[in-house]
């Protein structure tokens, strides 16, 4: 089982030299070591890069925090100013200058490559600050305070975002986790709550007014501050477990911060929340808040320094561990290489001795034994060499006489072999010539076949092209004639339509004139009917005055009035009909104009059709030229036929030469047969003597002639 398992590996190693074997084994050992070392080093470097990212976040947060403090102070100052404390104007302007310088510093130092998302948020905060700076004087106190507070919230979010993007929030080491919480969460929250209370209280004390809404906001901030103080004390207790001096100072300062903020909250309750009549100076309240915030800022700076110090120590530890491990690995690998080289030298020295002695034995020197200065398995090889040398001495002594006889037979065999070689050369030359002729004949046949194939394809294409060209020419000619006739007929029809349209236009114009005249006549009739109606009315009046004598005249006047009424009604109906007729005449005129436009477009289409027919006639000319090209192609194909005939003639000549060479090859073969019979007789004598030599050599078991080269 073990032999089968190891056989493929043994087979591979048996094909290699010692140097290659050592190299292969070394590579197989070194590859996993290098892979594991690379993975370990990559892990170490990843951890170092992670910590450096955390450092970048810490540094960025340390630069952002002063800006938040300045904005908080500005919020309180502006709130007091807008609530009536006009003395704060100069302080506000000075603070704006400080903030502008701070913004320039942050912009120049911002780590855009490491924290691209945070930089986008910073740019948004910067724009918001510019808008707020330029418009605070036109805002109400409440609106200004709200906008400043929202800006501070954005800055707090920027701090958290910087911690998240730099992966500082993912820190899982106990001695840095609570410092991270102090820097990112607890201290910013305490500072903002205190700053909010400071700014709001400053405005309340300046206006001496506490609304219910402001009171609720202050109570809420007070509660959040107390909750943050609990978290601060918890983190400080965890940090206190560290034994470094800076941690002791940090814990003491943290306790002072908690005490100051607690006192400030008590001051808030006493002077603002529970005070009926507020009498405290706003500047005093503002100063007390600033003291608490300043102390918190000092703790923040200490926490930043401590956190950065811890992260740098980790980087140094990981770097030192990596470097020491790499040095140890390099030293170990060097020792392994040295031992490998020494082992290789030892083996190669032994092999070199065996090789030199084997070369001497190959030259005929069997007088000296092999002496090896080693105790490994190669010592057994040296002993086997010595035993073989003694056996070869005995065998060579017994075979000297046999070698003499073999030499004489070999001389005779050599002479016969020379003659056979000469005959074989003749045969080889003839065969070569036959081969050359056959190859040439093959190429010629291929060329002839290719030329004939191309000729057949060309003839087919000529026939197809000629047929298509003839059909196209006939159809094009017929279409041109028909198109020309249709064009003439269309032009005649369009001229007739144009003439008819002109006549219709004249008739419609006359109809319109007659309608106008009739309208004028109707107007005259209606005017006469109107006058007649008035006369009938006057007649009725006179008849009524005449009494009985005018009764007959009254009847006549009444009939005349009715006739005038009917005449007026009929005239109006006729006038309405004339209006409709004139409207239809106007529509007819518009239609005639449209017909005129369409007629003109038809004439243009006929012109384009004429141009198309001209193009068709040009194409017919091109078809004629193509027919001429086809004729030229046919002539070229005829020339190709002549080349085919010549190639066939060459094939015939080559076949003739091949036949002659075949006869020469037959003659050489007969001579070779005679020489082969002589070789057979000498070979029998040599076989008998070689049999005795083989019996003596059968005492040794040899692999093959390549054993010695494998030892080199």
pLDDT in tens, 150-202: 999 999 899 999 888 888 888 877 778 888 888 898 889 899 898 889 888 88
Using an 8 Å Cβ cutoff, are 679 and 420 in contact? yes
Exposure on the CB side of residue 538, measured as CA atoms within 13 A: 6
Domain boundary among 284, 307, 333: 333
pLDDT value of position 462: 60
Task: Identify the DSSP state of 16.
Answer: S
- Whether 6 maps to a domain, the answer reads no
Instruction: Verify that 297 and 177 share a domain, yes or no.
Output: yes
Cα separations in angstroms, 547 against 543, 560, 562: 6, 19, 21
- Whether 692 maps to a domain, the answer reads no
Range of the domain at 472: 442-648
Domain boundary among 298, 313, 333: 333
pTM value is 0.47
- Whether 431 maps to a domain, the answer reads no
Interval 559-611: pLDDT, tens: 777 777 777 777 777 777 768 777 776 776 676 677 677 767 767 776 777 67
**pLDDT interval class at 704 (50, 70, 90):** very low
Instruction: Verify that 327 and 450 share a domain, yes or no.
Output: no
Instruction: Verify that 316 and 454 share a domain, yes or no.
Output: no
Using an 8 Å Cβ cutoff, are 80 and 203 in contact? yes
Interval 154-165: pLDDT, tens: 998 999 998 888
Residues 6+ apart with CB under 8 A from 701: none
Domain boundary among 280, 301, 333: 333
- Whether 527 maps to a domain, the answer reads yes
Interval 628-660: pLDDT, tens: 666 566 566 656 555 655 665 565 566 556 555
Rounded Cα distance between 275 and 272, Å, is 5
Tally of structural domains, the chain:
2
Interval 65-96: pLDDT, tens: 899 989 988 888 888 888 887 888 888 889 99
DSSP per-residue letters across 471-515: HHHHHHHHHHHHHHHHHHHHHHHHHHHHHHHHHHHHHHHHHHHHH
For all residues of the chain together, what is the average pLDDT?
A: 76
- Whether 233 maps to a domain, the answer reads yes
Q: Indicate whether 441 pLDDT > 60.
A: no
Rounded Cα distance between 612 and 336, Å, is 94
- Whether 528 maps to a domain, the answer reads yes
Mean pLDDT of 398-412: 58
**pLDDT interval class at 700 (50, 70, 90):** very low
Instruction: Verify that 327 and 447 share a domain, yes or no.
Output: no
Residue 626, Cβ neighbours under 10 Å: how many?
15
Rounded Cα distance between 47 and 31, Å, is 24
DSSP per-residue letters across 308-351: HHHHHHHHHHHHHHHHHHHHHHHHHHHHHHHHHHHHHHHHHHHH
Rounded Cα distance between 349 and 100, Å, is 81
End-to-end CA distance of the chain: 32
Instruction: Verify that 116 and 251 share a domain, yes or no.
Output: yes
pLDDT value of position 702: 40
Instruction: Verify that 204 and 80 share a domain, yes or no.
Output: yes
Interval 294-346: pLDDT, tens: 999 888 988 898 888 888 888 898 889 889 988 998 898 888 888 778 877 77
pLDDT value of position 706: 34
Cα separations in angstroms, 107 against 103, 122, 153: 6, 9, 19
- CATH number of the domain where residue 607 is located: 1.10.287.950
- Whether 386 maps to a domain, the answer reads no
- Whether 456 maps to a domain, the answer reads yes
Rounded Cα distance between 460 and 175, Å, is 94
pLDDT value of position 126: 92
**pLDDT interval class at 474 (50, 70, 90):** low
């Amino acid at each position: 089982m073990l032999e089968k398992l190891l056989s493929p590996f043994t087979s591979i190693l048996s094909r290699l030299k010692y140097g290659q074997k050592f190299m292969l084994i070394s590579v197989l050992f070194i590859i996993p070591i290098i892979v594991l070392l690379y993975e370990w080093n990559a892990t170490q470097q990843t951890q170092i890069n992670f910590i450096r990212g955390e450092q970048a976040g810490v540094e960025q947060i340390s630069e952002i925090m002063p800006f938040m403090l300045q904005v908080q102070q500005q919020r309180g100052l502006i709130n007091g100013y807008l609530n009536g404390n006009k003395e704060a104007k100069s302080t506000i302007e000075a603070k704006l200058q400080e903030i502008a310088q701070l913004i320039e510093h942050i912009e120049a130092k911002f780590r855009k490559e490491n924290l691209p998302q945070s930089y986008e948020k910073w740019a948004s905060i910067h724009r918001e600050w510019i808008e707020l700076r330029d418009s605070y004087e036109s805002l109400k106190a409440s609106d200004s305070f709200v906008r400043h507070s929202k800006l501070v919230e954005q800055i707090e979010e920027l701090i958290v975002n910087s911690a998240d993007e730099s992966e500082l929030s993912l820190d899982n080491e106990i001695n840095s986790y609570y410092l991270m919480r102090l820097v990112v969460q607890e201290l910013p929250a305490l500072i903002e709550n205190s700053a909010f209370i400071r700014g709001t209280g400053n405005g309340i004390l300046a206006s001496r007014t506490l609304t219910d809404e402001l009171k609720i906001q202050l109570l809420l901030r007070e509660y959040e501050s107390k909750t943050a103080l609990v978290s601060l004390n918890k983190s400080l207790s965890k940090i206190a477990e560290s034994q470094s001096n800076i941690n002791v100072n940090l814990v003491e300062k943290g306790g002072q911060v908690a005490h100051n903020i607690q006192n400030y909250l008590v001051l808030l309750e006493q002077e603002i929340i529970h005070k009926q009549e507020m009498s405290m100076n706003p500047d005093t309240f503002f100063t007390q808040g600033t003291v608490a915030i300043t102390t918190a800022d000092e703790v923040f700076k200490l926490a930043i320094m401590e956190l950065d110090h811890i992260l740098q120590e980790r980087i140094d530890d990981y770097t030192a561990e990596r470097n020491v491990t790499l040095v140890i690995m390099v030293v170990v690998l060097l020792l392994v290489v040295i031992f490998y080289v020494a082992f290789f030298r030892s083996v190669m020295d032994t092999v070199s001795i065996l090789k030199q002695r084997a070369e001497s034995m190959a030259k005929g020197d069997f007088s000296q034994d092999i002496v090896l200065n080693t105790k490994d398995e190669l010592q057994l090889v040296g002993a086997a060499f010595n035993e073989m040398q003694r056996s070869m001495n005995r065998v060579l002594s017994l075979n000297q006489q046999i070698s003499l006889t073999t030499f004489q037979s070999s001389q005779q065999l050599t002479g016969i072999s020379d003659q056979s070689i000469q005959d074989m050369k003749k045969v080889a030359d003839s065969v070569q010539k036959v081969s050359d002729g056959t190859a040439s004949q093959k190429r010629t046949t291929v060329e002839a076949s290719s030329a004939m194939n191309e000729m057949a394809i060309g003839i087919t294409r000529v026939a197809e092209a000629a047929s298509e060209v003839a059909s196209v020419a006939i159809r094009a000619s017929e279409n041109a004639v028909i198109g020309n006739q249709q064009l003439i007929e269309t032009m005649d029809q369009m001229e007739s339509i144009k003439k008819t349209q002109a006549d219709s236009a004249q008739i419609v114009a006359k109809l319109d004139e007659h309608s106008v005249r009739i309208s004028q006549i109707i107007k005259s009739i209606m005017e006469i009917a109107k006058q007649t109606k008035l006369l009938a009315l006057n007649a009725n009046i006179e008849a009524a005055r005449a009494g009985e004598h005018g009764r007959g005249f009254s009847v006549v006047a009444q009939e005349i009035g009715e006739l005038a009424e009917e005449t007026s009604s009929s005239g109006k109906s006729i006038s309405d009909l004339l209006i409709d007729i004139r409207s239809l005449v106007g529509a007819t005129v518009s239609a005639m104009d449209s017909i005129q436009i369409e007629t003109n477009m038809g004439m243009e289409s006929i012109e384009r059709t004429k141009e198309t027919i001209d193009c068709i006639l040009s194409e017919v000319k091109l078809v004629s030229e193509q027919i001429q090209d086809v004729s030229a192609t046919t002539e070229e194909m005829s020339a190709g036929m002549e080349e085919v005939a010549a190639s066939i003639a060459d094939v015939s000549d080559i076949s003739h030469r091949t036949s002659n060479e075949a006869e020469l090859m037959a003659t050489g073969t007969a001579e070779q047969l005679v020489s082969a019979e002589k070789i057979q007789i000498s070979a029998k004598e040599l076989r008998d003597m070689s049999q005795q030599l083989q019996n003596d050599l059968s005492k040794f078991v040899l692999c093959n002639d390549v054993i010695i080269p494998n030892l080199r």
